Amino acid sequence: MARGFVSAALVSMRPMQWVKNVFVLAPLVFAQRLDDGDAVLRALAAFACFCLLSSAVYLANDLADRERDKLHLQKRNRPIATGELAVGAAAALAVVLAVSSLTGALFLGIGFAGILTAYLVANIVYSLGLKHVVILDVMLVASGFLLRAWGGAEAVSVGMSNWLILCTGLIALFLGFVKRRQELDGLADLPPAQRPILAEYSVGFLDQMIGVVTASTVLSYAFYVFSPEVAEKLGTPYMGLTLPFVLYGIFRYLYLVHRRGEGESPTVLVLRDGPLRTAVLMWGVVVLILLFA
């Protein structure tokens, strides 16, 4: 059954992917500002701005890739590829979402608006050509997560922790290389034109990159939670209690990738897999208890 305009537009906006924007809220939590009503409202407004702009980016990417998407087993069902969402309507909606996001960002300050603009520019240059540059394509996608966290820090006027930069960047690279691996696996029987950049990768190479980034992520987070400096800053020496949840989450993710062939959509995987979802939620609960109890 064909979708109506509203349904097709919502599907193309990818609201499920808004989960990625929770990185915007990380500085609010780790700066222990949840009891500051103004800071909470500003962080939520920043989250909303990133949601609107990311949806605009998804729409623009679907417009640019609509012919290639028709060759993909799943992506060919996207509303723009099927024609359920007209090209002109999708373009207009993308512009409205982007303008609304950037206008709203100005109310949170020039600094935040600049970061949001940098996020948009990064996505534009990615789509215009850098998505065809091996390794840099994944690094550029990972930079989007760093900009989210940086934007959240700017919105609530707190410093951007070096630990937050390091851990966010590494986990984003981990997810990015896993996504490339599963895309490569899924396109084994499809024409190379569907995703030309994947011809530059191999499963063996990506597995090596994933191994390096996995080890770096675990070590960085372990150094963070056991750092005396962090314990003093956060007012608790027990952040190490969160490490088992991070370890389990990463190992569970790798299990799903290697044994079940999942991982092409990290957001869907986290939301769908019960044990992985539980690990993320338990990590969040323990962090909140340690920081605010």
CB 165 within 8 A of CB 146: yes
At 25, which CATH number?
1.10.357.140
Give every CB contact of residue 158 below 8 A, 6+ residues apart in sequence: 27, 28, 31, 33
Asked if residue 53 and residue 13 are part of one domain, the reply reads yes
* Mean pLDDT of the region 14-27: 92
Task: Give yes or no: residues 167 and 76 share one domain.
Answer: no
110 Cβ contact partners less than 8 Å away, ≥ 6 residues apart: none
Among residues of the chain, what percentage have pLDDT more than 90? 63
Return the closest-CA partner of residue 251 out of 211, 285, 220.
Answer: 211
Residues 26 and 76 in one domain: yes
Q: Which two tokens stand for residue 23?
A: 């990185």
**Hey, what are 15's tokens?**
């609201």
Report which of residues 162 and 155 the model is more confident about: 155
Q: Are residues 242 and 184 in the same domain?
A: yes
Domain count, the chain: 2
pLDDT at 83: 82
Same domain membership, residue 267 and residue 238: yes
Average pLDDT over residues 252-270: 83
Residue 135 in this model has a pLDDT that exceeds 70: yes
Helical segments of 22-135, H only: 26-30, 37-64, 66-69, 79-82, 87-106, 110-128
Whether the pLDDT of residue 84 is over 60: the answer is yes
Q: Are residues 170 and 241 in the same domain?
A: yes
Range 74-94 average pLDDT: 86
Same domain for 115 and 216? Answer: no
221-236: average pLDDT: 92
The answer to whether residues 166 and 149 belong to one domain is no
- 197-206, pLDDT tens digit by residue? 888 888 899 9
What are the tens digits of pLDDT across the range 205-223?
999 999 999 999 999 999 9
Both structure tokens of 272: 């769908």
Note whether 135 and 191 are same-domain residues.
no
User: If pLDDT is split at 50, 70 and 90, which confidence band does 3 have?
Assistant: low
Among left, alpha and beta (phi > 0; psi -120 to 50; other), residue 60 is alpha
Say what the pLDDT of residue 199 is: 80
**Banded pLDDT at 109 (limits 50, 70, 90):** very high
Q: Determine if residue 32 is left, alpha or beta; phi over 0 gives left, psi from -120 to 50 gives alpha, anything else beta.
A: left
- pLDDT number for residue 80: 85
The rounded distance, in Å, linking the Cα atoms of 157 and 155 is 6
Q: Which of 160, 192, 207 is the last residue of a domain?
A: 160
Which residue, 160, 190, 223, sits at the end of a domain?
160
Let me know whether 155 and 175 are in one domain. no
Domain end call among 126, 160, 194: 160
Least confident of 25-39, 158-172, 188-202, 257-271: 188-202
Q: Are residues 133 and 194 in the same domain?
A: no
Range of the domain at 78: 1-160
Task: Assess whether 202 and 134 both reside in one domain.
Answer: no
Residues 117 and 53 sit within 8 Å (Cβ to Cβ): no
Residue range 235-262: mean pLDDT, rounded: 92
